[in-house]
Amino acid sequence: MSKQKFNLGDEAAENTVALTAMMGLAREDLLGAVALMMREVTQKPATTTKHLKALGEDVVRILKNESDLAPSPKDKRFLDITFKYNPIYRMGMQYYLAVQKNVGTWLADLELDELERARANFVSQMIIDSISPTNSLIGNPAAIKRAYESGGMSLLKGLQNAYRDLIENGGQVSQVDKRPFKVGENLAISEGSVVYKTEMMELIQYVPSEEHVHAIPFLIIPPQINKAYVNDLSPDKSIVRFLGTMGITTFLVSWRNPQVEHRDWGLAHYVDELIKATDVILDITKSKKVNVSGACSGGITTATFLSKLASLGDTRVNAVTLMVNVLDPQRSDSEVGALVSEHGIELARQRSAKKGILEGDALGRMFAWMRPNDLVWNYVINNYLMGQDPPPFDVLFWNNDTTNLPAKLHSDYLDMYPKQPFANPGKVEFAGHLVDLTKVTQDLFVIAGVTDHITPWKACYRTTQLVGSKNIEFILSHSGHIQALLNPPGNPKSKFYRKEGKLPPSSDEWMAGAKEVAGSWWPFWGEWLKARSGPLKAAPKQMGNKAYPPGDPAPGRYAFNE
């Protein structure tokens, strides 16, 4: 894999589909932002004229070769040396940067409220990103050089890639070369069996890799967005395999990819399924307790499940892990959050209710256009202008293996913003009960990522203040969203931050007292789990039991949309 392809894959892996993409970013609101900007142009001509004059002055300096406009060191679009030494390309780049700069100062000068400004900035940046000279063949010197060096074959290959995307990828530019990967053959290959199956889920038990295992089993609760096999992606990135080496009997829920007829599946139904799943696990293992983990939107399901058990006085869950998960989202947490409005939320709710599902492909497309430079234009340049295949990256293969969301579950998730059920204990009915995490007292392990903009780490930290747990561990991994989850030992660059003792109320206070620890957080988590998994016993010789015999081999049929 070339360095360029690796960087493409690495960047896109930081931008995996998550809950933020479904939180009511309505196209009507974005079109409204365009109308708002046009209104400001007509109603406040003096402001617009001032900034057009500034743009004109920048253009004069560019033409006289006196401009000092230069791209940000983080902007990779203009790395080709031609932009530095060729006067035509340099002027083209500087003109684009001048437009970008002056549109930004113009928007900052307008009298807008916080929501209007966020939307105007978002829409204007999307438009400006689309007109970058590097997105066209004539404006991209690297693509022209490649076309010359390849005798035009790169352009032919680019057309082939574009045609394949049009026919096979719904017209969306491909982020990954899917051909090298096959689920069950080189992805999701840990040995295990489906031991329980319903219309909504498959419960997989994995074969232990040690002769002795701890008495308390472990259940992984994945997001309903994307497939569960991210937890067993490849042998070197498998959480399932790692837990096996720690002597942990591991189970995994694999959610079915819902269709229109499943439109009424809501969060309450998913919680009921988890109660059934843990009943089965306790029956198979003869344990009275089970440890659980949930990641991203699966963490919302996990937290709701724990609250429901607490309301029933059910103590079956022993210890909990929440990964890259936000339970009380706030508009200030992220760029996307700043765009959310009640109007947008209701429109999103109405659309999925009308269709019966929120389609996975539509969700992925929406998320891609929230970060177009990273998830659209990078690939337009790589795949079409340069004539290269997208990277064969397992994380991106999984990320593009999208699933639908039932309309009811989508509606429940949308309620997270206006109702704030987890931040208002005992006041909000959610999934069939009054949610109250202060009654959740199990030991808790929370993991977040430093560079995670999908579930920002400071938002993840707030979970530590919502629960009634007395023993809470918060770990901050030096990575992004998916890398914080898939962070196996062996990477010499891995590190994480931890603070001993009682956690302070604010994330800033925590960071002030946190210490850097070299290596992956997985071994530390593994020892934390082992200490809460009971004594060792002989590993089972077969999966399931008489009541729940082993069925289809892992990763089950629902991993294939069956």
Active site residues: 296
Report DSSP state, residue 438.
Answer: G
Contact 332, 339 (CB under 8 A): no
Of 375, 355, 381, the residue nearest 259 (C-alpha): 355
Report DSSP state, residue 383.
Answer: I
Tokens for 536, please give them: 């060792």
H helices, E strands: number in the chain: 22, 16
What is the C-alpha R_g of the chain? Answer: 25
Preceding omega of 555 cis (within 30 degrees of 0): yes
CA atoms of 322 and 442, how far apart (whole Å): 12
Report DSSP state, residue 319.
Answer: E
CA atoms of 236 and 491, how far apart (whole Å): 11
Of 423, 443, 445, the residue nearest 435 (C-alpha): 423
CA atoms of 453 and 398, how far apart (whole Å): 19
The per-residue b/e assignment along 399-431, b for 16 or more CB within 10 angstroms, e otherwise, is: bbbbbbbbbbbbbbbbbbbebbbbbebeebebb
CA atoms of 190 and 365, how far apart (whole Å): 31
CA atoms of 406 and 265, how far apart (whole Å): 6
CA atoms of 203 and 295, how far apart (whole Å): 17
Of 429, 458, 460, the residue nearest 447 (C-alpha): 460
DSSP per-residue string spanning 191-206: -EEEEEE-SSEEEEEE
**3 state SS of 55:** helix
At 89, the amino acid letter reads Y
HSE-up (13 A, CA, CB side) for residue 140: 23
Contact 498, 472 (CB under 8 A): no
Report DSSP state, residue 130.
Answer: H
DSSP per-residue string spanning 241-264: HHHHHTT--EEEEEE----GGGTT
CA atoms of 111 and 106, how far apart (whole Å): 10
Name the percent of the chain in helix, strand, coil, to the closest 5: 50, 15, 35
CA atoms of 11 and 324, how far apart (whole Å): 18
Contact 118, 339 (CB under 8 A): yes
CA atoms of 160 and 158, how far apart (whole Å): 5
Q: Which residue has the tokens 């970060």?
A: 371
